Each structure stands twice: as structure tokens, then as C-alpha cells.
């Protein structure tokens, strides 16, 4: 099992959004994370906070795309 596979199975990393929910932040989350309209309320209620868990390799691109959209976010190892 590779490190990425282990991280996926254990959801070792978290993508944390530091911004409060706003139209711009929610639009970026919809576009980048492909959040469905029906899930927006749940995601909005979690902000600021964790929006995804998984392997670092899978979350790095999402973090970069959110940052490029002006969303303040970071990757953080779970439990840190």
C-alpha cells in the first residue's frame, strides 16, 4: 500500500477553509470542490472549518485552486 493509499483510507489530511461563508467563498467551493446546491447549507454551516479529508496528494490541487479563487485555506494533518 502506498502512502497516498494509506492517507486516503485513514483520511489523514484536512482541507481547512478559514473564511466565513459568503457568496464568493461558497461559489468557489461549488466550482472547485463540486459541492452540489443541495449540500451548500451543510457546507456553509461548517465554515470556517474542515471541508474535505483525504490524502495530501488529492487535496493539494484543491487547496491551490481555492487559494487562486481568493479563499483563505490550508492543508493540515488531522489531529494537529
pTM of this structure: 0.88
Mean pLDDT of all residues in 6-13: 87
Per domain, the residue ranges of the chain are 3-77
pLDDT per position as a tens digit, 39-69: 989 999 999 999 999 999 999 999 999 999 9
Give the model's pLDDT for residue 80: 58
All 3 cell numbers of residue 33? 470542490
Give the model's pLDDT for residue 5: 87
For the chain, how many residues are written? 80
Give the model's pLDDT for residue 73: 98
* CATH architecture, range 3-77: 2-Layer Sandwich (3.30)
Assess contact for 13 and 53: CB atoms under 8 A.
yes
Amino acid at each position: 500500500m502506498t502512502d497516498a493509499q494509506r492517507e486516503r483510507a485513514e483520511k489523514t489530511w484536512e482541507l481547512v477553509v478559514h473564511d466565513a461563508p459568503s457568496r464568493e467563498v461558497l461559489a468557489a467551493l461549488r466550482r472547485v470542490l463540486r459541492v452540489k446546491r443541495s449540500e451548500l447549507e451543510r457546507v456553509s454551516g461548517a465554515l470556517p472549518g474542515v471541508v474535505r479529508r483525504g490524502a495530501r496528494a488529492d487535496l493539494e490541487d484543491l487547496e491551490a485552486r481555492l487559494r487562486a479563487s481568493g479563499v483563505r485555506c490550508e492543508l493540515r494533518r488531522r489531529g494537529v
